[in-house]
């Protein structure tokens, strides 16, 4: 069984966190590839990445894909997230963990912006 964990930074503002969770729910409802789709936060909000991963493992998930919902490459994308994923790998050697490219690396972002701007005109 496999799972997708969407990761956001987390915010002190609950509205920001709620918007991300709503996006996760929308993706969960549309997705057909994963047994589970969950949301997690790097900091400032819960649940944490580790908590979500551990809950998935308890529910017999053997492959977990992490999708960083971050626009740019920075310390969190380049250092913090790989560190957390490597810790999870060490603690759970029978589970396959994959850190996917972050949102900002998507080739479709420019198309989304152009479409949104065009719809606003």
Q: Taking the CB of residue 99, how many other CB atoms lie within 10 A of it?
A: 19
State percent of the chain over pLDDT 90. Answer: 98
pLDDT category of residue 43 using cuts at 50, 70 and 90: very high
Kind of pairing between the strands at 2-8 and 63-68: parallel
At 3 the pLDDT is 98
The answer to whether 15 and 64 have CB atoms below 8 angstroms apart is no
Look up the pTM and report it: 0.94
Q: Which residues contact 5 (CB under 8 A, 6 or more apart)?
A: 37, 38, 39, 40, 49, 52, 53, 56, 64, 65, 66, 67
CATH number of the domain residue 53 falls in: 3.40.50.1400
Q: What is the mean pLDDT of residues 21-43?
A: 98
Q: What is the mean pLDDT of residues 8-24?
A: 98
The answer to whether 80 and 42 have CB atoms below 8 angstroms apart is yes
Residue pLDDT, tens place only, 44-58: 999 999 999 999 999
Q: Give the sheet arrangement for strand 36-41, strand by strand.
A: 36-41, 2-8, 63-68, 96-99
Q: Taking the CB of residue 11, how many other CB atoms lie within 10 A of it?
A: 16
Q: What is the mean pLDDT of residues 66-81?
A: 96
- Count of domains forming the chain: 1
d(CA 121, CA 117) in angstroms, rounded, equals: 7
Q: Which domain holds residue 51?
A: 2-120
């Amino acid at each position: 069984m496999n799972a997708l964990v969407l990761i956001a930074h987390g915010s002190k503002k609950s509205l920001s966190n709620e918007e991300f969770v709503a996006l996760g729910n929308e993706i969960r409802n549309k997705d057909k590839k994963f047994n589970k789709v969950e949301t997690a936060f790097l900091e400032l909000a819960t649940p944490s990445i580790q908590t979500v991963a551990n809950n998935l493992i308890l529910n017999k998930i053997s492959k977990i894909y992490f999708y960083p919902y971050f626009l740019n490459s920075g310390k969190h994308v380049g250092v913090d997230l790989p560190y957390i994923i490597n810790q999870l790998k060490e603690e759970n050697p029978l589970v396959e963990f994959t850190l996917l490219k972050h949102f900002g690396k998507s080739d479709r972002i420019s198309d989304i912006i152009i479409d949104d701007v065009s719809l606003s005109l």
